[in-house]
C-alpha cells in the first residue's frame, strides 16, 4: 500500500524520499511526534478490531 502511494507520488513528480529526509533533518522531534501519532492510531485501531472480534465470539 505504502509503496503504491510512493509510486503515485513519484509519477506526479513529488520526491517523497527527499521530502521525508528534509523533514527529519530540519525538525526531527516534530517528525518523530507525527510518526508516533500515526503508530499510536494504528495500535488503537488494531485494539478496537480485537475487542470487536472478542465481543462477537462471546455472544
Per-residue pLDDT tens over the stretch 3-21: 666 566 556 555 556 677 7
Domain positions in the chain: 2-58
CA-to-CA distance for 7 and 17, rounded, in angstroms? Answer: 11
pLDDT attached to residue 46: 92
How is residue 48 written as a grid cell?
478496537
Q: With cut-offs at 50, 70 and 90, classify the pLDDT of residue 29.
A: confident
Q: Which residues contact 34 (CB under 8 A, 6 or more apart)?
A: none
Closest CA to 27 of 38, 37, 39, 35: 35
**pLDDT-based confidence at residue 22 (cuts at 50, 70, 90):** confident
pTM over 0.75: no
CA distance 13 to 10: 5
Amino acid at each position: 500500500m505504502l509503496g503504491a502511494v510512493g509510486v503515485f507520488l513519484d509519477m506526479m513528480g513529488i520526491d517523497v524520499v527527499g521530502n521525508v529526509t528534509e523533514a527529519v533533518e530540519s525538525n526531527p522531534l516534530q517528525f518523530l511526534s507525527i510518526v508516533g501519532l500515526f503508530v499510536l492510531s494504528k495500535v488503537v485501531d488494531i485494539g478496537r478490531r480485537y475487542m470487536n472480534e472478542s465481543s462477537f465470539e462471546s455472544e
